[in-house]
Amino acid sequence: MRNITQLLIGVVLLSSSSAFAQKEVPPDVKAADGVLVCATAADAKNYATLHRNGIRTAIEGEVDAKSCLIAKIAYVPGKQTERIEDKDTTYILTEILIVAVKTPYGLLRMRPNLAYTLMPVDEEKA
């Protein structure tokens, strides 16, 4: 009887963990590797100041900062506030709601967390 109980508990745990690991993302959620995640808008601005004329290089090189880190996440973009000009790219300070983290098995859903990022703007040269 004890072995059957342990087996049932194991099956429930496995099925519940696989329910959280998903490969598909809803349309309003964006998933990406190498997203700058900062605790506050001021932290994101400070990251931009510290890496002036090299924001893209710092993010691609996964250079973390005191209150910011580069992560593999799924998020819902929110309110956009100010533009930050860099050497070759313009960024918009954006509020994001992190809803999942990427794992080797897919996306692991989590309780939504508010954060801030610098989103590159696609601008066409005149």
Instruction: Give CA–CA dist 70/36, Å, rounded.
Output: 5
Per-residue pLDDT 10s for the chain (126 aa) are 444 334 334 434 444 444 445 556 677 889 989 999 999 999 999 999 998 888 888 888 888 888 899 999 999 999 999 999 888 889 999 999 999 999 898 889 999 999 999 999 876 554
| Domain assignments of the chain as residue spans, ordered by start | 2-120
* DSSP 8-state secondary structure symbol assigned to residue 28: T
Instruction: Give CA–CA dist 19/61, Å, rounded.
Output: 32
Q: How far is CA 88 from the centre of its chain?
A: 23
- In the three-class reduction of DSSP (H, G, I as helix; E, B as strand; rest coil), residue 16 is classed as helix
Helix H or strand E segment including 32: strand 30-38
Q: Distance of CA 5 to CAs 15, 18, 43, 51, 101, Å?
A: 15, 20, 49, 55, 32
Report yes or no: 30 and 63 within 8 Å, Cβ to Cβ.
Answer: no
